[in-house]
Chain A
Amino acid sequence: MFHSLSGLFIVLKGITSLVLVFYGYRLLEIFSQGKRQYEKELLLCFFTCLLSQGICYVLQNGVHISIRYCYRYVRTVLAGPLSDSASRWYELLIFALFVPFLSCMLVHLNEKMKRSLLFVILGYFTFFTIEIFGNITIKIACYPFLNIWGYILAGWLLLHIAWTRKEKTAGIICWILSIVILELEYFCYPDASQMEDFYFIFKCITMLGIFCLLCGKRRPEKEITILPVLAGIVALVEVFI
C-alpha cells in the first residue's frame, strides 16, 4: 500500500516538472511575440504561487479571519514555499521574472552555441548522477542552469536545434534506455530510488523526451492555460498524501 502510494506521488511530482517545462517554454515563446501577453503570464504565475501557498497555509493553520493571520500568510509568502509543490511554482515565477534576460541570450545563440549549451546542461546533470552513484561529493557552487532552469532551457534547445535524422534516432534510443533504467532502478531499489532526485540524468531525459513528443508539432504558447488549476490539485494531493 505504501509503495503504491509513494510511486503515485513520484509520478505526480514528475508531472509537475513536465508542466513547468511546458510553461517555461511557453513563457520564452510568448515573450518573443509580445510584452503584453508576457505580462499577463507573469501575473498568472504570481497568482498561482499565492494560490498554492494559500492552500498549504490554510490546510496547515486552519481558517481564521484576523490581521495577524493575514500578516503571517504574507510573511510565509515572502519567506518561501510551504510545500514541495509550491516550491515548483515559486521556481516558475522566478524563471518568469528572468525570461526577458534569458531571451536576450537565446536569441543570440547560433546553432553551435545552442548545441554547446545543451551539452553543458545535460553534462552537468550527468555529472550529478555520477556523483550520486560514485559516492563522490564535488558540488560545484553557483552553476546557474540547475533546477527547473536546466530542464526548461534544455527543452527549449531541443525544439530549436535543427537535428538530423540520425541524431533524432539516437535521441529516441537514449530516451527509451532512460525509461528502462529508471524503471529498473525503481523496481530493484524502491527504498533508495533516485527517481525522485531532480538532478538524475535519466529522469531529466525521460521528462524532456515526453516534452518533445507532446510539443513536437504543436505550439504550446497557444494552449489554454490550466496552471492555477494544476497548482491547486497538486498542492491538495501533496498535503493529503
Chain B
Amino acid sequence: MIVERKGYQTSYGLLRILACILVIIHHFDAVVLDASCQQGMAVVDNLTMVNNGLFFMLSGKFALEYFDGNVSAYYCKRFVKIVVPYLVINCMINMMQGYTITEYISRLRHGEVYDWFVYAVIGFYLAAPFFYYMFYDMKEKYKLLFLLSIVVYIVMNTVNEYFGNVFYTAANPFFDTLSFFLIGYLIDNIVSLKRYKWYFAGAGIAAACVSTYETLYLPGVNTSLYGLCITRICMCVAVYVLVCWSNSRIIQDKNIQKIVKRLADLTYYVYLVHGLVQEPYAASHSYIISKNPYIRLAAGSLEIIAVSFVLAYFYERITRMIYKIAGKKRIWGRLKSN
C-alpha cells in the first residue's frame, strides 16, 4: 500500500540529498578536528551519524513496496546498479592509496576493504523479495506490532549497554542494520502513525539532546555511540518524518522538483565518489581558510559536495553508457522497465 501525499517523490529525493550531505560532513569532521574543538566536533559527529540510517530507511521503504515476482531479475538489477559501481570506485580508491588491482582483489577477499554499508545493503536486498510477501497482506495492527517488537528490542539493547550487560542479539534477525530498513518501510506504511508526526519530531529532538549530553558529559557511558541505540533510531525517524511527510509549498514547485529529482538520482554515486574527492582534498590542506574549525568544516564540506556531485554526474553517465554498449541497450532497458 502506497500512502499518497503531496510532493510525494520530491520529499524522498530531498531526504536522499540531505542524507548524502550529512555523510560528507560526517566523514570530513575528523579532518578539520583540532584540540580547540574536540567536544564540539564530537557533537557534530554524533548528530550527523544519522546519515546511514536515513539511507537504509529509504531503501527499505522503496524495496518493500514493490516487487514484480521475478527474483533473479530483482537480484540482477541490484547487482548491476549497486555492486558494480561500488567495486569500480572502491578499486580506484585503493589504487589511489598505492595498491595494485591484484592487491585490491586480495584485500577484498580477506575483508580488508570492509565497506560495511554495501554488505548491509546486499544482506537486506537478498531477503527483500520475501519480506515483500510478509508485508503484502499484513494488517495494519500487525505492522504496528512488528514495529513495536523491533523498537522494544532496541530499547532493551540500549538499556543493557547502559548497564554494561552483553545483550543477546544474535538470535533476532530483525535487529542490527536490518531494523533501519524495516522501520523505514513500516513508519511510512502505517497510516495511523501519520497523526503522531510531531510526537516523532519531539522524540527525535529529545534523543538528540540526550545523545549530545552523553557526548559532552558522559564519555564513558555514551550509549548513543553504539550503532543501534534508541536515541539514534529516534533521531533518524524524526528527520525522516519531518522531511518526507512535509507538505511544503517549495516542494510543489515543478522546477524545484526537477532539480531535486536529478540530484537525488545521483546520491548513490556521490556517496561512492566522495571518498575519491575527500582524500586528496584533505591532503592538500586547501580547506584551511579560517582559524575557526567550524567554518573550515562548512566550507570544506561544501566544496567536497560540489565536486562530488559533478564527478558523480559523469560517473553515472559513463556507467550508463558502458551498460548500453555492453548489453546492446538490453541491460539498461531492462533496468528502466523494472
User: A interface vs B, CB < 8 Å?
Assistant: 75, 78-81, 87, 90-91, 94-95, 97-98, 100-102, 104-105, 108-109, 112-113, 116-117, 120, 124, 134-149
Contact = CB atoms under 8 A, between A and B. Distances in A.
A104 B173 contact: no
B104 to A, nearest CB: 14
Nearest to A138: B111
A199 to B, nearest CB: 12
B111, B134, B178, most chain A CB atoms within 10 A: B134
Contacts of B168: 79-81, 87, 90
B71 A102 contact: no
B29 to A, nearest CB: 24
A101 B167 contact: no
Contacts of B176: 141-142
Nearest to A103: B134
Please indicate which of the listed interface residues A112, A116, A124, A148 has the most CB atoms of chain B within 10 Å of its own CB: A116
B291 interface: no
B171 interface: yes
5 contacts: A80-B168, A98-B174, A108-B134, A116-B129, A145-B173
B213 interface: no
B172 A101 contact: no
Nearest to B136: A108
Nearest to A149: B173
A101 B156 CA distance: 21
B127 to A, nearest CB: 5
Given A87-B171, A120-B126, A104 B137 contact: yes
Contacts, number: 119
Given A97-B149, A146-B173, A108 B166 contact: no
A188 to B, nearest CB: 25
B71 A113 contact: yes
Nearest to B74: A116
Nearest to B175: A142
A78 B160 contact: yes
Given A124-B126, A141-B120, A104 B178 contact: no
Given A136-B109, A140-B119, A142-B178, 12 more contacts: A78-B156, A80-B165, A87-B168, A95-B171, A104-B134, A105-B134, A113-B71, A137-B110, A138-B119, A139-B111, A142-B176, A149-B173
Nearest to B133: A108
A138 B138 CA distance: 34
B217 interface: no
B243 to A, nearest CB: 24
B174 A140 contact: no
B189 interface: no
B116 interface: yes
A75 B136 CA distance: 38
The binding surface of chain B is classed by DSSP as helix
A167 B320 CA distance: 41
For A78, A90, A97, A136, the residue with the greatest tally of chain B CB atoms inside 10 Å of its CB is A78
A144 B173 contact: yes
A142 B160 contact: no
Contact of B142 (A78, A104, A143, A147): A104
B195 to A, nearest CB: 25
B131 interface: yes
A105 B174 contact: no
A119 B60 CA distance: 22
A87 B130 CA distance: 26
B167 A80 contact: yes
Contacts of A138: 108-109, 111, 119
Nearest to B143: A101
Contact of A143 (B126, B134, B146, B160): B126
Nearest to A150: B173
A141 B142 contact: no
A109 B133 contact: yes
Given A105-B134, A108-B136, A141-B123, A94 B172 contact: yes
A101 B185 CA distance: 15
B173 A141 contact: no
Contact of B166 (A80, A91, A136, A145): A80
Contacts of B177: 141-142
Contacts of B167: 78-80
Contacts of B174: 98, 144
Contacts of B123: 140-144
Contacts of B120: 141-142
Nearest to B108: A138
A142 B117 CA distance: 10
Interface in B131-152: 131, 133-138, 142, 146, 149
Which residue, A75, A81, A100, A105, has most C-beta atoms of chain B within 10 A?
Answer: A105
